[in-house]
Structure 1
């Protein structure tokens, strides 16, 4: 797919803006402080309920009183709020599109893909997928924000955006244990990955996807069902 390269100026960043990040930290701080401050009162109220579990920890909380206890509880709540805001930001995909590269940042890691290596980009449900020139999968990351913005940024920068989704979707086949058309090593990886999907171990499933890719196959999911195709279906 030949796409002309526009004369473009500034890179386009898509994800949480600076203002939204500030709001997340401020909101997390306020909620954390409030929760920490009111925890003793909440615990005292909970103990009046006949069915409440964990009475021991709740009684311990209500037994500690005084100014210092309130200050410490509030500070702990503040720390929890800041941690929560940081985790939300870290877990949200940040995309930077320039004339030469697409940069994906998530979970404290970054992946940069050059224009020459990219054959197609599309959304597969809530996942942003980047394919190479021969149909190999270069990146797949969950992306739940402003899908119109990412499509607009990629097309404006001249990347091969596929509005209809995966151009190779007809090549996928449902995986079942010991599929005859797959090497034993790939079947073993997909079996382990099925268990990871059932246990909702996202990190393990992602790592196993990379291992399958190294052996020349692409995997996509529908719930815990896995579908596969060979990488080199493109020209």
Structure 2
């Protein structure tokens, strides 16, 4: 990930050169694996514990003068697809003294600086807390946190190097906890199922629904941790 500054804006994300390198690297790896796949299948058949023997026998039986080139081409395409997914799911940020623009896949957000109270990382997720106490942004795809932290700090944003300033306030959700109202329990129960099914759309939408009734939630695997919305101290 490269950080570049132009016209008072710092942009973090994969540079054009890095993107080319990723496509070249993934493509070359895919090409090599595809080309060698019949030989790999032949080698795997000699292993007594190999679990995909039928698949390996099929690949080995199709070995021929043109098959390795066809597989190499398919491997090249697969490598390009993996590189595209890696770039698509990475977080790109454009940070100025006045606002922050974020892009990750189809998710795009712009937040004015005046609305931001704290910025920090939660694992590989970028989190921005608003002056209202709500999470304005929680976006994954942070590959090089040092570059992102430096960009925010260079523009004077309230970066929390220690992470979430409210991290000690979170409690693990368990059904029927008396501190939570029935509406929150209902949303968290449905969201738990969405986490198990890895339904990203429902996970995000239910997070927003919980925020509307005054609760912030963070995840560790399929476990959910909650806290009530609290206004953070605004850092100058």
TM bracket, shorter-chain basis: 0.7 to 0.9
2:218 and 2:138 mapped to 1: Cα distance? 9
Give the TM-score, by structure 2 length: 0.84
How far did residue 224 of structure 1 move?
4.0
Cα 1:210/1:64, change in 2 over 3 Å: same
1:97-136 alignment, distance < 5 Å: 97-136=95-134
1:95 to 93, 96, 103: 93
> Any idea what SS the aligned residue of 1:42 has?
helix
2:62 and 2:44 mapped to 1: Cα distance? 16
Cα 1:224/1:56, change in 2 over 3 Å: closer
Deviation per residue, 1:96-140 (Å, 9 max, x gap) = 212222122213322221222222111234322101111101111
- Unpaired stretches in structure 1, ≥5 consecutive residues: 1-7
How far did residue 153 of structure 1 move?
1.3
Cα 1:97/1:47, change in 2 over 3 Å: same
Q: Is the contact between residue 104 and residue 141 of structure 2 (CA under 8 Å) also seen in structure 1?
A: no
> Any idea what SS the aligned residue of 1:67 has?
coil
1:20 aligns with 18
Count of residues in Structure 1 that have an aligned counterpart in Structure 2: 227
- Which deviates the most, 204-213 or 39-48? 204-213
Q: Is the contact between residue 135 and residue 168 of structure 1 (CA under 8 Å) also seen in structure 2?
A: no
Q: Is the contact between residue 216 and residue 230 of structure 1 (CA under 8 Å) also seen in structure 2?
A: yes
Cα 1:162/1:183, change in 2 over 3 Å: same
Superposed CA RMSD in Å reads: 2.4
1:183-222 alignment, distance < 5 Å: 183-197=181-195, 199=196, 201=198, 203=200, 204-222=202-220
Moved beyond 4 Å, runs of 4+: none
1:148 and 1:190 mapped to 2: Cα distance? 33
> Any idea what SS the aligned residue of 2:163 has?
coil
- Unpaired stretches in structure 2, ≥5 consecutive residues: 1-5
Q: Is the contact between residue 11 and residue 92 of structure 2 (CA under 8 Å) also seen in structure 1?
A: yes
